[in-house]
Structure 1
Amino acid sequence: MSVFKSRPALRWLVPSAAAAVVIGGGAAAGTIVANADPALPERSAAQLLVDLQNAKVDGLSGTIVQSADLGLPKIAGLTDEASGTAGLANLVAGSNTARVWYAGEEKARLALVGTAGETDVIRNGADVWFWQSSDNSATHLKVPAGAEHKPQSLPTGVPSTPQDAADAALAAIDDSTKVTTTGAAEVAGRDAYELVLEPRAQQSLVGQVRLAIDAEQHIPLRVDVYAKNATSPAIRVAFQQISFDKPDPQQFVFNPPPGAKVTETDASKLERDAEKAAEQHEKAGAAKLRGGGKAPEVIGEGWASVVTAKLPQAKGKDAEQVDGMLGMLPEKSGTWGSGRLFAGSLFSVLITDDGRVFAGAVAPETLYEAAAKK
């Protein structure tokens, strides 16, 4: 269960000379060490990256809590629970809880537990089950021998595991990232080292990303994302409880509850459906461009990058809904024109009156500068 398995490109980070370059902007790999408690041997940032790369466990189970407080305004129909988008509301200002069991690549289970019920993804050999208690429905498929269909996460709106969050954070490491260590931590009753990623770009709203790495098993136990100058994390994904004992095989056996609606499918059908959805999405995108939209572009690099696009003209009820939501956002204007700003502690989105959108993990001023140039 390696954090680097899904991103082989990350292997260049360690233990090569490139690792020494990203750590402290060229500092020797051994000069920056974790100020660990006496019970833990000192580990450099480069050594912790090696630990992450080589981490492998045969089994674990635990409870994961994802919490967020992005400092976003409440927008009716978008970020409020009354709108029926409680999942989104919790992702931007709330918490989610999940249980995880793992006993090898072919035995894994992830369950989201929420007020609306439970949603599970279960892999047991060739059998894969997707189950939702809210409507007592289940989808079952058989994985062909030798196939790589290994479900790693739940549908949209489900919290990531610390491993997934760490994977994304590590993918952002480049020469614009300062990598250090800071002390030891205790997560879910286990000793851990802390690896700290800090953007060098002044425009970035991200202050630090802190990874707590298990001192013995070397997997991420917690990932915290801090806004600049903040003392508490805007996003936290952490194990609340964890055991590295191999789970009972019965944890991966799923029997549909009485009355459940079961849909039988196969991996090849899912692939065809995914390809069809991608094709439809591509056609829809082309239609939007014909309607006045513009494909997204990236301005800048790394932590200071800004994504921009031209929106197609909304019509009818869609236009009314869009105008209603935008009307709740504060008005902004400048040499770039005028528009509305949707901003939180970690990102900003600018929607101009002429249909342009600028977004990034940057301060609004950076969006204004980008808008003035386009």
Structure 2
Amino acid sequence: MAPIDSDDNRTAGEGEELRAGRRKAARYVVPVAVMGVAAATIGLVPALADSGDPDLPKVTAEQLIEKIAKSDVQQMSGTVRINTDLGLPDLGGLESGLMSGMSAGPGAGGDGEGSAADPSAKLTELVSGSHTLRVAVDGPDRQKLSLMENAAEYSLIHNGDDVWGYDSKSNEVYHSTTSGSDGRPEKDVPRKDVPRKDVPEKDVPATPKDFADQALKAVDDTTSVTVGGTAQVAGRDAYRLVVEPKQDGSTVGAITVAVDAETGTPLKFTLTPASGGAAVVDVGFTKVSFAKPDASTFDFTPPEGAKVTKGDESAKAPEHGRPAEGGLAEGLDGLEVVGEGWNAIATFDTGARGGLPTASPDGDLGALGGFLGSFGDQVKGDFGSGTVFKTRLVNALITDDGKVYAGAVTKDALVKAADAAR
């Protein structure tokens, strides 16, 4: 990453160590499942609520990022609260369905195939609303994430070579294995500082560290990074790391990461929009422990009578990190990125002349038409005309000749990008 905006002086060697440390910080992930392009775009920011301002030794932004990078917490457990408010209209759960379709997960299809316990579909629920998660980690080979629901629970367990997903509401089980994909013997246990090649990385951020890693990847010379005081999160003393765009035109106001003063582990992540108001994404521990979880935490046996679906038996199951056939993401083959830093805009051509349809011949908008039409603005420019669909963070311009421009930027920035590409 490029240099941070800071008044502190450092040598070239120190700068190299800092960049190396950031690269290390960006690869610490809890492996779970894929979600698709939407979550990757959303996984940027949070607003911080705290319960005190502890008196801690002063640190610089560079030192705090180094603390995150050097954090080597291998064992922890706790409860995480996720609140996501993109400002989408209330469509009775349709927004989650659309996100599931984007991920092309087999459990998201309407054909009755696949498994309700498939994580590639189930975890898309995290992109909207409020959710409570219980997490446990014991090194690179054992993790558990449980999504708590009303009178139900969804659990994703990685234990050695096995990955289990269990949906108590439907009594369905999803099972896949992680061994053998790189020809390595099972007895070959990876070093703790090297990610396993046969374990899929998680594209759906679920813990404060997941979100913080995504945010730190965006740090470059278009970014200001400062230390914004201290806080107390889940009973732990923490520093606040504040990340802000320097560029005009971004919808991102600021990202605040609460970093545990003792371990360097991110405890809370908050993204506030440039327009003000409540956080778009707010993810934080309400309880946390760095003690070794009990080994039985990661044990799983399918309940009697449960429907068990093997990973390679799922209908149209995608490879980890790749969209399945027929998913909405399939149309993104020509995806390009214009601009840089916080003003980067993704663009592609849908091939749909006349723009996206807003009504059928009988006047029925349908689910997609209603979803888009509820927050679309008509715009014109040198490019022609089109419609801008807005959330509190991500905006998209769909032109009448079928081109799409999307990013965490303002409506004017999208129109300018479309004009420049004319």
TM-score of Structure 1 vs Structure 2, range by shorter chain: 0.7 to 0.9
Question: Residue 347 of structure 1 aligns with which residue?
Answer: 394
The change in CA–CA distance for 1:339 and 1:112 in structure 2 (over 3 A counts) is: same
CA contact (8 A) 1:179 1:195 kept: yes
Question: Residue 96 of structure 1 aligns with which residue?
Answer: 131
TM-score (norm 2): 0.69
- Aligned identity (percent) is 37
Question: What are the superposed Cα offsets for residues 1-33 of structure 1, whole Å, 9 maximum, x if unpaired?
Answer: xxxxxxxxxxxx6xxxx6xx3132x64269xxx
2:221 maps to amino acid: D
The change in CA–CA distance for 1:345 and 1:103 in structure 2 (over 3 A counts) is: same
Question: Residue 47 of structure 1 aligns with which residue?
Answer: 63
1:350 maps to amino acid: L
Q: Distance in 1 between matches of 2:326 and 2:282?
A: 32
Q: Distance in 1 between matches of 2:53 and 2:369?
A: 55
Question: Residue 28 of structure 1 aligns with which residue?
Answer: 9
Q: Distance in 2 between matches of 1:369 and 1:273?
A: 36
RMSD (CA atoms)? 3.8
Question: What are the superposed Cα offsets for residues 236-278 of structure 1, whole Å, 9 maximum, x if unpaired?
Answer: 11111111111111111112212112245689x99x9618965
CA contact (8 A) 1:121 1:131 kept: yes
The change in CA–CA distance for 1:259 and 1:244 in structure 2 (over 3 A counts) is: same
Q: Distance in 1 between matches of 2:71 and 2:321?
A: 37
What secondary structure is seen at the aligned counterpart in 2 of 1:170? helix
Are residues 1:162 and 2:208 paired?
A: yes
Higher RCO (Cα < 8 Å, 6 or more apart): 2
2:169 maps to amino acid: S
Q: Shift of residue 364 of structure 1?
A: 0.5
Q: Which runs of 5+ in 2 are unaligned?
A: 12-51, 101-107, 109-121, 180-185, 189-195
2:127 maps to amino acid: L
Which residue among 264, 284, 301 is the counterpart of 1:238? Answer: 284
Are residues 1:303 and 2:339 paired?
A: no
1:91 maps to amino acid: V
The change in CA–CA distance for 1:317 and 1:87 in structure 2 (over 3 A counts) is: farther
Question: Residue 112 of structure 1 aligns with which residue?
Answer: 147
Q: Which runs of structure 2 are paired with 1:273-352 in the superposition (5 Å)?
A: 274=319, 280=325, 285=330, 295-313=334-352, 321=366, 322-335=368-381, 336-352=383-399
CA contact (8 A) 2:233 2:267 kept: yes
Question: Residue 117 of structure 2 aligns with which residue?
Answer: none
Which residue among 117, 124, 143 is the counterpart of 2:159? Answer: 124
Q: Distance in 2 between matches of 1:265 and 1:205?
A: 38
Question: Residue 252 of structure 1 aligns with which residue?
Answer: 298
The change in CA–CA distance for 1:99 and 1:29 in structure 2 (over 3 A counts) is: farther
Q: Which runs of 5+ in 1 are unaligned?
A: 1-12, 31-35
The change in CA–CA distance for 1:151 and 1:137 in structure 2 (over 3 A counts) is: farther
What secondary structure is seen at the aligned counterpart in 2 of 1:345? coil
Question: Residue 256 of structure 2 aligns with which residue?
Answer: 210
2:395 maps to amino acid: S
CA contact (8 A) 2:212 2:266 kept: yes
The change in CA–CA distance for 1:332 and 1:171 in structure 2 (over 3 A counts) is: same
Q: Shift of residue 349 of structure 1?
A: 1.2
Q: Distance in 2 between matches of 1:108 and 1:80?
A: 25
Question: What are the superposed Cα offsets for residues 168-202 of structure 1, whole Å, 9 maximum, x if unpaired?
Answer: 00000111011110110111111100111111111
Q: Shift of residue 72 of structure 1?
A: 3.0
Higher share of residues assigned strand: 1
Question: What are the superposed Cα offsets for residues 199-231 of structure 1, whole Å, 9 maximum, x if unpaired?
Answer: 111111111111100011111000101111525
Question: Residue 200 of structure 1 aligns with which residue?
Answer: 246
- Count of matched residue positions in the alignment of Structure 1 and Structure 2: 337
Q: Distance in 2 between matches of 1:70 and 1:139?
A: 30
